[in-house]
Amino acid sequence: MQNKEQMDFNTLLENILITAGIFIVATVLAIAFFHYSLNSTSVAIIYVLAVMLVARYTTGYVPGIVATFFGVICVNYVFTYPFMTLNFSIDGYPVTFVVMAVISGLTSALTTQFKKQNEILNEREKLLMEAEKETMRANLLRAVSHDLRTPLTSIIGMADTYLADNGRLTEGEKSYMVKSISEDANWLLNMVENLLSVTRIRVGETRVNTSPEPLEEVVSEAVQRLRKRLPQAKIKVQVPEELLMVPMDAVLIEQVIINLLENGVYYSGTDSIDLYVKKAEDAVEFHIVDQGKGIDPERLPTIFDGGGVDSNKSGDSHRGMGIGLTICKTIIHAHQGTICARNQQQGAEFIFTLPLGEKIGHGE
């Protein structure tokens, strides 16, 4: 396999201009130093630095090697007596020039090698990000296939039964069926809201458009929306007294809070949920805690990856939590935050963080 680097005309022209510019500046500095100190050693150091800069800001090994050659020639020809004459026979100078050439060449080679390694690492990071996005899509589709199909099947079954046996059903049975259809329809509406929220994340990226939002207002809005949907829910809220402006997409973060609170109400076995927020060193932490039955430890490692799908053993109308938690993870990761779940002595706790300051890249 041939290792010689192929460069197009633009890259070649860019390398020439960068090398020429750096050497012009280096030569001006060298003349100034030599004029005041008459010391060729300082001049040699300036040209070694120039070689390092050439290797850093150009592409390939060739510019660094060429810069090394011209650096040695310039020191000998311009700044070594007899001036304007190439002379490597002066006592002590051959060693100086050989050492300079070796140092410059090694510096150029190492700098170029570091650049190549950095490019490889960046490429690997891009591949990992792509893999993570594909995993998120797969997890989301898996959760969607479960959480949307189940209530749809229930709605169709109940509706068909109601239409086929309407004359033989008691009023209590009719009321039960209509209530079940309504609950499943509301669940589907919630899932659609979740799916629509993901469309706010920019296509092809794992970033969101963010702006500083008042933390207390976002939390308050999310809790009010949940209480309209689940009036029986008893949510205890605690937020920092200071005004915190957190970079976020407010609609998406409200959806995360609603999903986690709703998840606690549906699956913990209790209507009482604690939501408290605290400021860490460079992030804000959101804690959603219940006093219920906790989470099966076997499901904890994959609960945000579709592994949290509830098998609905109880037979009630509430469906799996998979899609909601998967979307929570997608949204929080898009904000460059973290999310996790863990069991307490009694009940479970969901924690997610949002970074403060410049960690989030603001959308254009």
Mean of pLDDT values over 54-77: 76
Angle, alpha carbons 176-266-198 (nearest 5°) = 105
Q: For residues 276 and 104, what is the distance between their CA atoms, to the nearest angstrom?
A: 59
Q: How confident is the model at residue 317 (pLDDT cuts 50, 70, 90)?
A: very low
Q: Quick one: tokens of 217?
A: 């207002």
Q: Would you place residue 245 in the very low, low, confident or very high pLDDT band (cuts 50, 70, 90)?
A: very high
- Higher-pLDDT residue of 215 and 313 is 215
Does residue 59 register a pLDDT over 60?
Answer: yes
pLDDT band at 286 (very low <50, low <70, confident <90, very high): very high
Tens of pLDDT, residues 107-159? 767 777 787 888 888 888 888 877 777 776 676 666 666 667 777 888 888 88
Q: What is the pLDDT of residue 271?
A: 80
Q: In whole angstroms, give the CA distance from residue 22 to residue 173.
A: 86
The per-residue pLDDT for 362 is 44
Q: Are 330 and 140 in contact (CB under 8 A)?
A: yes
What's the rounded Cα separation, in Å, for the pair 180 and 316?
9
* pLDDT surpasses 90 at 106: no
Q: What angle do CA 364, 280, 227 make, to 5 degrees?
A: 75
Determine what percent of the chain is predicted with pLDDT higher than 90: 16
pLDDT in the model for residue 312: 43
DSSP string for 80-144 = SSSTTS----STTHHHHHHHHHHHHHHHHHHHHHHHHHHHHHHHHHHHHHHHHHHHHHHHHHHHH
Mean pLDDT value of segment 56-73: 76
Q: What is the pLDDT of residue 219?
A: 95
pTM for the model: 0.55
Residue-level pLDDT at 361: 45
Give the whole-angstrom CA distance, residue 47 versus residue 25: 10
Q: Which is more confidently placed, 350 or 47?
A: 350
Q: Where exactly are the structural domains of the chain?
A: 9-125, 137-355
Q: Indicate the DSSP class of residue 220.
A: H
Residue 163 has pLDDT above 90, yes or no: no
* Consecutive H or E run containing 350: strand 348-355
Nearest to 190 by CA among 221, 164, 229, 217: 229
Q: Are strands 338-343 and 348-355 parallel, antiparallel or unpaired?
A: antiparallel
Count the helices and strands in the chain (H runs, E runs). Answer: 8, 7
Q: Please state, in angstroms and rounded to a whole number, the distance separating the CA atoms of residues 42 and 80.
A: 12
Average pLDDT over residues 203-210: 64
316 pLDDT more than 60? no
pLDDT band at 200 (very low <50, low <70, confident <90, very high): low
Q: What pLDDT does 314 receive? A: 40
168 against 8, higher pLDDT = 168
Is the pLDDT score of 258 beyond 70? yes
CB contact set of 225 (below 8 Å; sequence gap of 6+): 254, 258
| Cα–Cα dist 120/114, whole Å | 10
Task: Report the range out of 14-23, 32-41, 103-112, 141-150 with the highest average pLDDT.
Answer: 14-23
Instruction: Average the pLDDT over 184-198 and give the result.
Output: 74
d(CA 141, CA 148): 10
Q: What is the CATH number of domain 137-355?
A: 3.30.565.10
Give the residue with greater pLDDT, 306 vs 345.
Answer: 345
SS3 298: coil
Q: DSSP letters of 55-84?
A: HHHSSSSHHHHHHHHHHHHHHHHHHSSSTT
Separation of alpha carbons 149 and 147, rounded Å: 6
Mean pLDDT for the chain? 78
